[in-house]
Each structure stands twice: as structure tokens, then as C-alpha cells.
A and B are shown apart, each in its own frame.
Chain A
Amino acid sequence: MLKLMGSVMIFGACAALGLSARQGLRRRVAAADAMLLALGLMEGEISCRRAPIPEIVGQLAENENAVIRTVFGCLSRRLREENGLSLGYQWRASLRDCRDKIGLGQAECDILCEAAAWLGRYDASEQVAGLEQIARRLSAARDTAAGELQNKGNLYRTCGIALGILVVLVLI
């Protein structure tokens, strides 16, 4: 009986390892998709309404998408703190603070952080051009992550399950 329970636990642990690796890739793609959506919304608010950044951030902090809500909720809180730090700093800090929580990849996070250098500093057309460029690069990174999910996602899952079976067989 103990042997059986041990086998099940070892199999479960190995399978979970594989599945969580796959899940990490899925979250990375979902986070990139969400940030692309957020960039699109920012672009629209800037080009059509000339809305100030804190107002856009406040709106995004109430978005239905949990990833967008997490990142922009964090940024909104930081802006409200009135601590004298620049928008660029707050933008970078919020992305880095939330990166693990939302599953955003390092490459995607770095691309988004680059917006800190110009966000809110120039007129609407420059801002929109900048956001479009960031969106293009983020989209390319997202496609890479999606390719990785397709190629390695199933591999991680299968390897996890196979490893579990192998260890159980060896132990039995």
C-alpha cells in the first residue's frame, strides 16, 4: 500500500513539474497578449482623447483583464503615492515588480520598460509612434513565446509524465 502511495506521489510530482513548465509558457503568451491590448488602449486614449497618462493608467487599473489590472493597478498606486519619482521610474518599477506575478517574459518586460524613456514626454503623434513600435516588438516577442509554447510545451508535459512513469517503474 505504501509503495503504491509513494509511486502515485512521485508520478504526480514529476507530471506537475512538466505541466507547470508548460503552464509558465502559456502565461507568458497570455501576459504578452494582455500587454499588447493595453498598449492598443493607451494608443487610442492618447490619439483620440489626448488623455493624461495618470487617467489612462487609472482606467487600465480597472480593466477586466487580470494581467492589465495587476500591472496598471500597481502603477496607479505608485503614482498616487506622490513620492516625487518620475513616471519613467514608476513604469519600470511596476513592470519589474509584477513580472513574476503575471508571468511576463524577461524579453517582453525589457521591451516594455523601454517606453519609460519617452512615455508622457512628447506630443501625441510621437507617443503613438513610440507605442506602435513597442507593440510591434512585443508582438514579435509574443510570437516567439507562442512558438516556444507549441514546440516545448507538449515536450515539457510529456517529459514530466514520462519521467514520473520511469521513476515509478525503476522504484518498483
Chain B
Amino acid sequence: MQMEAKQDGAYLQAIACLPVSRAAQLARLDGGKAVEEIRLRVGRPPSVRTASGERETDLAPVTAQELRETLSRAARYSVHSYAESLRHGFVTLGGGHRLGLCGTVAEENGQVIGVRGLSSVNLRVARQVTEVDETIRPWIGTGAPQSVLLLSPPGFGKTTLLREWVRLVSDAGHPVSVADERGEIAALADGAPQFAVGRCTDVLENCAKRQAAIMLLKTMSPELIAFDEITAPEDVEAVSLCAHCGTAVLASAHAADVDDLCRRPLYRALLDLRVFERAVVITRENGKRQYRMEKLEGKTCSS
């Protein structure tokens, strides 16, 4: 897939959650278009990560106060609206960008209830990509949607590929439903997706995948349901619900490849459902993303 952004409006939109003076500094930075992540660590200058790696800028070191202000702005001064995602250590911003948080965790009854004393944040810039690599396009197909699992380590572009996959299937006339738990696939704002997700796409945002699957199946009659990041047993249940209703599933998971997937019990359970026909594995070589298709039909983790 060609990972060039159409414009660096995404970068400017993402840094708008930073304190005004810091955002102004970063807006002047060269090469904003290629930036995939901005990392702010207390006592260190901000770093930017591009496809070729992470580099530190020569800007003033980040302060703890700046991180607190960043979180307030990112959460739109409304912790109550983001309580659930803060428990998971992130805030999704308008435009689908994600602010990951690190610091001292606050716990209650063994459950994380938030992050206090922030030590670093990772601002991940979400971009729309509308040019699909020629190797992938035939995989998406023209007939009925197939169940596909997208695999890669974090930051390799699973969500970006998933979004584009959804758009292409949807624009081909198949009703697609997106269970956008983190609001990163469609990034709804006032009910309208901020990313192009296709003309036949319905989006349910901010809802746990299992519940979203039930609601979407009942109400939207999709031919394909898309989930981002299968990470918990409840997510596997959501996939199972869809598969046994005759709806194709498009999902993503953190794994280097199918063998890596098989090593973890959660994903073994996912594969045992025999829902997915294929897996697309994303790798990175010399700073460029590579895509590989693997057949999952009939595959078991012991085989």
C-alpha cells in the first residue's frame, strides 16, 4: 500500500491536542507529512517517529504540566466522556488520532481506573490511505465479502488497511458494519465519519465489540462486520457471534504472523472458530510495508 498521506492536515489536526505553544513548535517541524507518531516524555525533547524510525527533535524538553494539559485538551476537559478508554490508557481524538498514556496507574480493587502522574504520551497520527497496493486489491475481491484477519505488530498500519478494505467492500455495494470500539476506524464527528469508509457503511462507535456485534447483526443486516484489534476473550466471542450468523468478519490482531498467532491461547481460540478464510500479514522491510496473504481455511494451530 502506498502510505503517502494526501495532505498533512492529519498531522496538524493531531497536534492540536497539545498545548498551544508546543503545537506551534511542532507545526513548524519539517517533514510533518511523514510523521506517524509524536512521543512526549517528561524531561526529554519531543520525538517523532516515521517509517524509518524515531528521532528526537531539538525543541525544549517536555514538562509534566504540559502532559497534564495535553490530556485535558485531548479529553476535551471531560474525563467522564473518556473514562472507559482512560482505563485502557488512551484517548481517541477527533480525526481518529490516538493519544496513548504512560505514567503511574491508579487502581481500585485490582482494576486500573486511570493513569495519574503522566510520564509520557504517544500521539499516533491517523491518516486516510486511498491507494491500495496492487497485491492487496485482488484479495478484497468482487464477490461476496470474505472473512479476513489482518496481522502485524503495533504501528504497521492494520487499522489503515482495515479502513480501506471496508471502504472498497462498501463501495462495491455490500452493506458493511463497523464496530469501532476506539473510534479510530471511522472517527465519527456529529454522526459523520471523518474518514472515507464507503457508501454502504454503518458505524457503531465506542461500544464493546461483543455488544456491538449483537446490535449490528440485529439492526443493520451487514454482509461484513469489521472489528479493530481483537485483544480479549469477549472480542473472540463477538467474532464467533458474527460467524455463526453468516456474516463475514474483517478483524485485526497483534501478531508477527500466523505462527505467532498460534502461540497465544486467545488467538488459538480465535483460529479454532474456523471463521477466517485468509490472513493478511503486514511486515516492514527497509522502512516500506510489505503484504503477504496466508490461507487459514482448514488451518489448525497444531497443523
Contact = CB atoms under 8 A, between A and B. Distances in A.
Contacts of A86: 69, 72, 77
Contacts of B80: 46, 50, 120, 122-124, 126-127
B20 interface: yes
A84 B81 contact: no
Interface stretch (A16-24, A33-41, A51-59): A51-59
A82 interface: yes
Contacts of B72: 86-87, 120
Contacts of B69: 84, 86
A101 interface: no
B77 A82 contact: no
Nearest to B22: A84
A121 B83 CA distance: 10
Interface residues of B, number: 14
Interface string B88-127: 0000000000000000000000000000000000000000
Contacts of B76: 52-55, 120
A83 interface: yes
A120 B72 CA distance: 9
Contacts of B16: 82
A124 B83 contact: yes
Contacts, number: 49
A54 B79 contact: no
* Centre residue among A46, A87, A121, A123 by max chain B CB count within 10 A: A123
Contact of B79 (A55, A82, A83, A122): A122
User: By DSSP majority rule, is chain A's interface helix, strand, loop, or mixed?
Assistant: loop
Interface residues of A, number: 20
Nearest to A49: B81
Given A86-B72, A87-B72, A123 B79 contact: yes
B19 interface: yes
Interface in B7-24: 16, 19-21
Contact of A82 (B20, B21, B75, B78): B20
A53 B20 contact: no
B77 A84 contact: no
A86 B77 CA distance: 8
Given A84-B19, A84-B20, A87-B72, A53 B83 contact: no
A87 B77 contact: yes
Contacts of A127: 80
Interface in A77-115: 82-84, 86-87
Contact of A52 (B19, B20, B21, B81): B81
B78 A120 contact: yes
A102 to B, nearest CB: 23
Nearest to B19: A84
Nearest to A46: B80
Interface string A119-135: 11111101100000000
Q: Which 9 A-B pairs have the closest CB atoms?
A: A52-B78, A120-B77, A87-B77, A84-B20, A124-B80, A52-B76, A52-B81, A123-B83, A53-B78
Interface of B: 16, 19-21, 69, 72, 75-81, 83
10 contacts: A51-B78, A54-B76, A82-B20, A86-B77, A87-B77, A120-B79, A122-B79, A122-B80, A123-B83, A124-B80
Interface of A: 46, 50-55, 82-84, 86-87, 119-124, 126-127
